[in-house]
Amino acid sequence: MQSFKKIKTIITPLDKVNVDTDQIVPKQFLKLVQKSGFGKFLFYNWRYNDQEQLKSDFVLNESKYKNSKILVAGDNFGCGSSREHAVWALLDYGFSVVIAPSFADIFYSNCFKNGLLPIVLDEKTIEKLQLETGDVEVDLENQIIKTNSKTIPFDIDSHKKKILLEGLDDIAQTLFYEKKITEFENQSKIPSVL
């Protein structure tokens, strides 16, 4: 997992609430066995018409948002089933940060396990952010978001912050304790009786 420190880009405003994981990546695309390759299916039913052509009226299809790495969405983002593929699709598409007034618990947890930074801000701040047209900087180390006109602080659990700053997935976190685990295993061995 890559470490996250700071990112500066325009935001992509997704003015929708209750965006569930099936909308983020529909179930028919969950056949891949690796974490990559899901970006092309992100918001598939909103991005494409029945002939699999891009819809002109969906925000991700606007060329100005092509290289955006920050998605600003509505309340209860990532609700629905607990599929980790939703986070994989957002990352594979190119997003590094999702900002919303609230997230579904499992989705929120999956973000940290995969290196996607979820930020919770109040609805009024979200509404103003969605109107930003210039670059926005997200600085995890200092826990601030900088726009052209203001600096917005955000809260994050210190352990989750460390995970992202150091790029630690569950396995990497466990390996920090490898020596202690080995010592425990060696002490716990039952001597064989022959």
Which domains are assigned to the chain?
Answer: 6-168 (3.20.19.10)
Q: E-assigned strands of 5-59?
A: 6-9, 11-14
**Confidence label for 184 from pLDDT (cuts 50, 70 and 90):** confident
pLDDT score of 94: 97
pLDDT score of 101: 98
- Does the pLDDT value for residue 169 go beyond 80? no
**Confidence label for 92 from pLDDT (cuts 50, 70 and 90):** very high
In the numeric block, which tokens belong to residue 187?
Answer: 């002490």
pTM: 0.87
- Does the pLDDT value for residue 180 go beyond 80? no
pLDDT score of 35: 85
Q: E-assigned strands of the chain?
A: 6-9, 11-14, 70-73, 97-100, 117-120, 136-139, 144-146, 151-153
The residue-averaged pLDDT of 129-143 equals 95
pLDDT score of 119: 98
The residue-averaged pLDDT of 11-27 equals 96
Q: What angle do CA 79, 151, 94 make, to 5 degrees?
A: 45
- Does the pLDDT value for residue 194 go beyond 80? no
The residue-averaged pLDDT of 92-118 equals 97
**Confidence label for 173 from pLDDT (cuts 50, 70 and 90):** low
- Does the pLDDT value for residue 108 go beyond 80? yes
The residue-averaged pLDDT of 171-179 equals 60
